[in-house]
Amino acid sequence: MQLGAAESIQPTHRLNVVGFFCPVPVAEAKKALSTMNKGQVLEVWADDPETLHDLPMIIERSGHTLVSIESDAGEYRFLVEVAA
Give residue-wise pLDDT tens across range 13-48. Answer: 999 999 999 999 999 999 999 999 999 999 999 999
Handedness of CA 65, 9, 70, 26 (dihedral sign): negative
Helices and strands (DSSP H and E) totals, the chain: 2, 5
Query: pTM higher than 0.75, yes or no?
Result: yes
Note the CATH architecture for domain 2-81.
2-Layer Sandwich (3.30)
Q: Where are the domains of the chain?
A: 2-81
> pLDDT class for 84, splitting at 50, 70, 90?
confident
Q: Which residue out of 3, 11, 16, 22 is catalytically annotated?
A: 22
Q: Is 28 helix (H, G, I), strand (E, B) or coil?
A: helix
Q: Catalytic residue at 22?
A: yes
Name the phi and psi angles at 19, rounded to 5: 95, -10
